[in-house]
Structure 1
Amino acid sequence: MSDAGALSLPPEPQAWAGGAADAEPQLLAAGPREWRVSGDWTLLGLRGRYEEFRERVASAATAGDDPLWDLRNLSRLDTAGALTLWQGWGQKPPSRLLWLPEHVTLFAQFMQPAALPRRRPGLGPGLASAGLSLLAFARHGVDIVALTGRLLLDLLRVLRHPSLIGWREISANVYRTGAQALPITALVGFLVGLTLSYLISKQLKAYGADIFVINILGLAVLRELGPLLAAIIVSGRSGSAMTAQIGVMRVTQELDALSVMGISHTVRLVLPKVVALAISLPLVALWTSGLMLLGGMTAAGAQLGLDPATFLRALPGVVEPANLWLGWSKSVIFGALIALLASHFGLRVKPNTESLGGAVTQSVVTAITLVIVVDAIFAVLFSNVGI
Structure 2
Amino acid sequence: MAAAAASLRQVTPQRLALAGCWTARGLGNVAELLADAQPARAEQGKEKGEIELEVSGLKALDSAGAYVLQKLLLRLGPAGQPARLLGLPEPMQALMTVVAEQLAQTESVAKPAEPSPGVLERLGREMVKRGSAAWLELLALLSFVGENALALGRCLLRPTRFRWRPMLFNLRLAGVDALALVGLMSFLLGVVVAYQGANQLRQYGANIFVADLIGLSMLREFAPLITAIIIAGRSGSAYAAQIGSMVVSEEIDAMRTLGLLPLELLVLPKLVALVIALPLLTLFADVLGVLGGMLMASVKLDVTPTEFIERFSKAVSVTSYLIGLGKAPVFAAVIVLVGCFQGFRAKGGADSVGRQTTRSVVQSIFLVISADALFSVAFSALDL
TM-score, reference length from structure 1: 0.73
CA distance in 1, matches of 2:209, 2:284: 23
CA distance in 1, matches of 2:345, 2:196: 44
1:4 to 11, 31, 50: 31
Query: Residues 8 and 251 (structure 1 numbering): CA distance in 2 closer, same or farther, change over 3 Å?
Result: closer
SS of equivalent residue, structure 2 residue 135: helix
Question: How many matched pairs?
Answer: 319
Residues 348-357 or 332-341, more deviating: 348-357
What whole-Å deviation, never above 9, does each CA across 1:148-190 have from its counterpart, x for those lacking one? 2211211121122222101111111111111121222222212
How is 1:221-240 mapped onto 2 (pairs within 5 angstroms)? Answer: 221-240=218-237
Letter in 2 for 1:152: A
How is 1:194-273 mapped onto 2 (pairs within 5 angstroms)? Answer: 194-273=191-270
Paired residue for 2:274? Answer: 277
What residue ranges of structure 2 are gaps of 5+ in the alignment?
1-29, 41-46, 56-64, 84-96
2:332 to 322, 335, 354: 335
Query: Residues 116 and 269 (structure 1 numbering): CA distance in 2 closer, same or farther, change over 3 Å?
Result: farther
1:317 to 314, 317, 320: 314
CA distance in 2, matches of 1:250, 1:286: 35
Paired residue for 2:323? Answer: 326
1:366 to 343, 363, 366: 363
CA distance in 2, matches of 1:311, 1:125: 57
CA distance in 2, matches of 1:237, 1:140: 23
2:101 to 49, 64, 71: 64
CA distance in 1, matches of 2:322, 2:331: 14
Paired residue for 1:50? Answer: none
Residues 25-34 or 248-257, more deviating: 25-34
Paired residue for 1:99? Answer: none
Q: Does the 8 Å contact 1:235/1:368 carry over to 2? A: yes
Paired residue for 1:103? Answer: none
What residue ranges of structure 1 are gaps of 5+ in the alignment?
14-21, 42-52, 68-88, 93-113
Query: Residues 370 and 55 (structure 1 numbering): CA distance in 2 closer, same or farther, change over 3 Å?
Result: farther
1:162 to 159, 162, 180: 159
Q: Does the 8 Å contact 2:74/2:81 carry over to 1? A: no
Q: Does the 8 Å contact 1:23/1:39 carry over to 2? A: no
CA distance in 1, matches of 2:287, 2:352: 39
CA distance in 1, matches of 2:285, 2:291: 10
Query: Residues 27 and 216 (structure 1 numbering): CA distance in 2 closer, same or farther, change over 3 Å?
Result: farther
Letter in 1 for 2:103: D
Q: Does the 8 Å contact 1:252/1:351 carry over to 2? A: no
Q: Does the 8 Å contact 2:186/2:285 carry over to 1? A: yes
CA distance in 1, matches of 2:50, 2:264: 73
Q: Does structure 1 residue 129 correspond to structure 2 residue 119?
A: no
Paired residue for 1:17? Answer: none
Query: Residues 204 and 252 (structure 1 numbering): CA distance in 2 closer, same or farther, change over 3 Å?
Result: same
What whole-Å deviation, never above 9, does each CA across 1:104-144 have from its counterpart, x for those lacking one? xxxxxxxxxx89969xxxx9322222222222222122222
Q: Does the 8 Å contact 1:28/1:36 carry over to 2? A: no
Residue 32 of structure 1 and its aligned partner are, at CA, apart by: 4.8
Residues 192-201 or 181-190, more deviating: 181-190
TM-score, reference length from structure 2: 0.73
Letter in 1 for 2:266: L
What whole-Å deviation, never above 9, does each CA across 1:288-323 have from its counterpart, x for those lacking one? 222211111111111011112322333222200111
Q: Does the 8 Å contact 1:174/1:280 carry over to 2? A: yes
CA distance in 2, matches of 1:180, 1:29: 97
CA RMSD of aligned residues (A): 3.6
CA distance in 1, matches of 2:331, 2:313: 25
Residue 281 of structure 1 and its aligned partner are, at CA, apart by: 0.9
Paired residue for 1:109? Answer: none
Residue 340 of structure 1 and its aligned partner are, at CA, apart by: 0.7
SS of equivalent residue, structure 1 residue 262: coil
Percent sequence identity is 34
Query: Residues 191 and 8 (structure 1 numbering): CA distance in 2 closer, same or farther, change over 3 Å?
Result: closer
Letter in 2 for 1:64: E
CA distance in 2, matches of 1:314, 1:266: 48
